Structure 1
């Protein structure tokens, strides 16, 4: 009769140990999102690159350092978890690419180790938007690596995601100048957990928005039969029509070719 309370007590202890709390993480004290932007201003796309199927990498992202502001209470020891989601919704010519405009598709590639726990390069797509990126590092103010709001001994500053690369794919050649307004391409989200479990999808908050902007110019040029003689048939003109020196024959109409 004395065994039942003992068993109940053990079950309660086991349940308590398995429980893990979690929540969202933002950037800096405002818990907002930092923006990293690839600026492609005044880039000239030469003739050999301005063809369907050509790929080229955009400029390095401009980035700023920031610190975590997670919703956990000050002094709490937690682990950080990340997810990366595409912002664009129209898929491009193949998996991993999204339609940027009528002439360009864009692909986002995260570099290994640029996000803690990311061991290999990862292309951001709809297939990876719920993939959680984890590492076993424990962050705490007690070890001078606090990430919770109110922690005075903080981790960072950091610039995770700053080495992300954008690949542009020409779907349709263009002429003249193309303006790319500031466009969010993908977002890195963060959450915290204080146990062995995983945060729910709703826990994740935006940490870093990855965007692109700028101007591309494709020079306009035209070469007709370069190096060859061009023959133009103007038809028959009666010699009697030539009445004035250095002037067109009478009744002749100029044709534009």
Structure 2
């Protein structure tokens, strides 16, 4: 049985980020941070000691690739000429305080497109030669495309001291041990492609999901309404409904559609989506 959760509007002006408060299964805060860290979404490294006196050029402080070790350390691939790399090398093994900010933007066109942010704070050190081959392989596994060949690169280790996430589920701190023990969502690597496919090729099916919402259903199923797949994880899918009859211009609400059972891969997800659309069509 599919439980759609409680649709909830954003602010009265329609400018706020809708955040449903649903009694459904959900990824933990640690899992959400771990998923973002191991994803390819935008991240910026802020090192107070390396802040330039003038505005930095684009790409300053941006890791090219990142991965997480079994102990929960974040491995970063950065240009060898970057301030972060130079500072870590000069520190000669001493710890350098740093904060990595990750911004999660929906891969589909939708109002309030920033889905959330995560901050991972800790201490940077350069990776020693004895660990470099193994950690380089880990980075390559997580980032098969590889970095630009015409740039010199350096591996840095970020030992996590604390983390924080502020996203569609809410705002929560994350302890280092919880971050290390968490696993990224199994659908994260495929999420962007899946959402783009649903938005581009299954618009009619997406709007039929209104039938599972009860009272808002007829209004959000009407012509002119938009039903955009905003996120998907192992537990379910979140859809943002906008352009609803009887609501202020620009107002949106989200609804969460929970899968009967958590999915572990794309094959199971397709089966769950088919059941979801079939249930909506029967309404």
| Same fold, judged at TM 0.5 (above) | no
Could you tell me the TM-score, scaled by structure 1's length?
0.26
Could you tell me the TM-score, scaled by structure 2's length?
0.24
Larger fraction in helix: 2
* Pair member with larger Rg: 1
